[in-house]
Structure 1
Amino acid sequence: MLGAGARPNRHAVNIVERPIPKTRAEVSTVAFSAYAYLFSELISYAMDRAASITELEERLDKVGYEVGTRMMELLSYREKTVRRKPEVLDVLKFIHSTAWPFLFGKPANDLQQANAADDEYMISDHDLLVGRYISVPRSYATFVPGSIVAGIVRGMLDAAGFPAHRGGGGGGGGAPQKSTTILVKFEAAVMARQAALENARRG
Structure 2
Amino acid sequence: MMLSGRPNKHALNIVDRPIPKARGEVPTVSFSAYAYLFGELISYAMDRAASISELEERLDKVGYEVKRKPEVLDILKFIHSTAWPALFGKAADDLQQANAADDEYMISDHDLLVGRYISIPKSYATFVPGSIVAGMVRGMLSAAGFPARREGVRAVSAHAVELAGGGGKGGGGGGGRSSTTILVKFDASVMQRQAALESARRG
TM over 0.5: yes
Gaps of 5+ in 2: 1-65, 150-154, 161-171
Residue 189 of structure 1 pairs with residue 189 of structure 2:
yes
The one of 102, 111, 116 equivalent to 2:100 is 116
The one of 120, 127, 135 equivalent to 1:136 is 120
Contact 1:157/1:163, CA 8 A, preserved across alignment: yes
**1:34 matched to which residue of 2?**
none
One-letter identity of the residue aligned with 1:185: K
Whole-angstrom CA distance in 1 between matches of 2:157 and 2:137: 10
**1:54 matched to which residue of 2?**
none
Shift of 1:149: 0.4
Bigger proportion of residues as helix = 1
**2:68 matched to which residue of 1?**
84
Contact 2:95/2:105, CA 8 A, preserved across alignment: yes
Alignment of 1:34-53 (within 5 A): none
RMSD: 1.4
Identity over aligned pairs, percent: 80
Partner SS for 1:124: strand
Contact 1:130/1:146, CA 8 A, preserved across alignment: yes
TM-score (norm 2): 0.58
Contact 2:137/2:156, CA 8 A, preserved across alignment: no
Gaps of 5+ in 1: 1-81
**1:169 matched to which residue of 2?**
158
Contact 1:122/1:182, CA 8 A, preserved across alignment: yes
Whole-angstrom CA distance in 1 between matches of 2:67 and 2:144: 10
**2:180 matched to which residue of 1?**
180
Tell me the matched-pair count: 122
TM-score (norm 1): 0.58
**2:87 matched to which residue of 1?**
103
Greater relative contact order (Cα < 8 A, sep 6+): 1
